[in-house]
Amino acid sequence: MAEAQARQRGGNADDGSAAAEDGVRYEVDGEIATITLARPDKRNAQTFATWSALARIGESLPEQVRVVVVKGEGPSFSAGIDLRMFKPEGVPGQGSFSTAAKIGDAGFEQRIRQAQAGFLWLRRPEIVSIAAVQGHAIGAGFQLALSCDLRIVAEDVAFCMKEPALGLVPDLTGTKPLVDLVGLAKAIDICLTARTVHADEAMRIGLAEQVVARGDLEQAVQDKIAQLLSTDRDAAVATKRLLQGASHRTLEEQSVAEGIEQAARIKALFG
């Protein structure tokens, strides 16, 4: 069994910002990686340093990891982007939207792509990502939860896509998974009203796989991990790849893809 490995991440070697600024803790224990947003006093508000830290975790994730848990410390999963970004003084070492507006469209779009890299890797076929969400998941917090494959939520969960209320669009990869999960009409309703979606609705419309009492969230995630790890690793990767491709393919194309994946499985198992 792989030896438990744990390490703390703090700071951003790339941009030289203050050590605690990314607010991300990261631990690997065998096949399980846990990413914790760890600025509870600021409701786990996110900055560019947070997203760089997430991207670096994705880049260096050990091959043995099969499940990635994303969670937040304290009362809220995440209150979204750090509101200091909206002020002229911005976030120390990371600027503000006022400074970002001056770097030009291409430069800013590039910066967004870098931020999005912190979210996109959570959909890799090689892993299953689980967001454990309690309390507020607002804006970037909602999008981080949406970037995971599964959402297990506490009864007090409060999802809110607040960006349009602030004059922005959701740009941290959340719009597609939201539409895929709840459909276009419901996604328009949720985003263009910036209303809050609570646990019962989240469960009903497919935003959450499971709702549990706040005190049971950790155990529910552990139980799900045990279920996920009980299946064959290579079959799980191939099956996730198939499921992810299903919505882009015709039934005929999907059937062909199933055959190709199965042939590879049979060869690996019995060849």
- Decide if residue 159 touches ligand ACO (CB under 6 A): no
- Decide if residue 21 touches ligand ACO (CB under 6 A): no
Nearer to ligand ACO, 68 or 140 (CB): 140
- Decide if residue 42 touches ligand ACO (CB under 6 A): yes
Structure tokens at 246: 């299903």
Count of residues engaged in binding ligand ACO, rule: CB under 6 A: 18
Spatial distance between the Cα atoms of 190 and 148, rounded to a whole number of angstroms: 19
Q: Which stretch binds ligand ACO (CB under 6 A): 42-50, 99-107, 214-222, 244-252?
A: 42-50
Per the DSSP assignment, residues forming a β-bridge with 71 are: 36, 132
Among 35, 68, 79, 178, binds ligand ACO (CB under 6 A): 79
- Decide if residue 166 touches ligand ACO (CB under 6 A): yes
- Decide if residue 139 touches ligand ACO (CB under 6 A): yes
* Residue 241 CB, nearest approach to ligand ACO (Å): 31
Nearer to ligand ACO, 26 or 142 (CB): 142
For residue 18, CA distances in Å to 38, 50, 231 come to 15, 12, 42
Q: Which stretch binds ligand ACO (CB under 6 A): 94-102, 110-118, 134-142, 205-213?
A: 134-142
Nearer to ligand ACO, 66 or 72 (CB): 72
Q: Which one, of 68, 67, 70, 34, lies nearest residue 228 by Cα?
A: 67
Spatial distance between the Cα atoms of 202 and 200, rounded to a whole number of angstroms: 5
Residues numbered 190 to 249 that lie near ligand ACO (CB under 6 A) are none
- Decide if residue 151 touches ligand ACO (CB under 6 A): no
Q: Which one, of 4, 42, 3, 2, lies nearest residue 22 by Cα?
A: 42
- Decide if residue 144 touches ligand ACO (CB under 6 A): no
- Decide if residue 169 touches ligand ACO (CB under 6 A): no
- Decide if residue 163 touches ligand ACO (CB under 6 A): yes
Q: Which stretch binds ligand ACO (CB under 6 A): 62-70, 123-131, 159-167, 184-192?
A: 159-167
Among 76, 116, 147, 173, binds ligand ACO (CB under 6 A): 76
Q: Is the separation of the CB atoms in 138 and 75 below 8 Å?
A: no
Q: Which stretch binds ligand ACO (CB under 6 A): 60-68, 87-95, 131-139, 251-259?
A: 131-139
Among 77, 162, 182, 187, binds ligand ACO (CB under 6 A): 162
Chain residues in the site for ligand ACO (CB under 6 A): 42-43, 45, 75-76, 79-83, 136, 138-140, 162-163, 166, 168
